[in-house]
A = this chain, B = another copy of it.
């Protein structure tokens, strides 16, 4: 601890910068020194922040700079639930990290209903991580020339991009023109990695070729048509990460017993709230609270929390069928990985092991597909539970009176 105190003194005297400590001590000591500084300069005591289970050095390498310790969120579990997925096949417990009371209970109730109905179906219907650099050209005539060149040289660009990665594959390059801006949206198969870094590095290499062979000048490796961590229609329409749907049919009796309402009330509530209400709000989210489940499972399994923004973009449907209720949720751009990023941290790795989805899948990409399917089922459960909650009191009785 002497060491940390000395480092703290040196920072406070101006001898060292806050971010230079790792050059003079191990990461744990550096973090301790920073806590000391903060404790001296603010009213904070940082006892629990200083209590963490991950390796400070590994975190400093991969996840954090100016580390001071850890943040802790409560983790709960929901399920089990049977899933008939394209990749996820079997029974799953869902780990969720959240500070919002009632969320895990809500998802758990929904999963229990889904399980009683025979489980959920889920499929990844599209997949691809994107990066879209923006180039400056002289005018639209030059833009046309650049795009023609790109379309004629896809193989060369693929070779350049893939030279930077052992796993990733360039699937497509999708061009757009706005005046003297050319945006090239590169789409990659990044297997079990969420893949942003892989896509960025590969795209940089390909962009260098475009610059060398055409008059286009690179302005930024991301021109916001990717689109990362923004709620953009381009992702809603073209997908990013996994495009995934989960659905279930629930018998009328089960709807009445478990959810205390009727299929008709559920369908009406979903239409008035999730479809018409969202339309009037000019929303990119036609669901009740998909972001809650996405955020909680992202945090538990080491995903990028900022990608909840586009990851939670989802449409929920509920319809009456002859035999009961059909309910679905369709995510456009759920960016997930089971390797890299925060997945290696210890609590996150343990949570992935609860799902049986840590590390690379067989074949590669299968684990990330499965994680997407499981999250979609969790979110479907959350939708069922919340819509049922507000329908049970009001709508159900109204529907009964009407004899529907």
Contacts and interface: CB of A to CB of B under 8 A. Distances in A.
A302 interface: yes
Given A54-B74, A64-B101, A67-B76, 7 more contacts: A65-B102, A66-B78, A67-B75, A227-B278, A230-B312, A232-B282, A284-B284
Given A46-B350, A64-B101, A245-B179, A308 B285 contact: no
Q: Interface range on chain A: under 10, 10 to 19, 20 to 34, or 35 or more?
A: 35 or more
Interface string A295-322: 1101110101111110011010101001
Contacts of A198: none
Copies of this chain, count: 4
Contacts of A140: 121-123, 125, 245-247, 328, 330
A223 interface: yes
Contacts of A72: 52-54, 70-72, 345-347
A228 B298 CA distance: 19
Contacts of A233: 233-234, 236-237, 281-283
A104 B66 CA distance: 7
Contacts of A356: 42-43
A156 interface: no
Interface string A272-292: 111111111111111111111
A108 interface: yes
A307 B307 CA distance: 12
B41 A93 contact: yes
B34 A347 contact: no
Contacts of A101: 61-65
A341 interface: yes
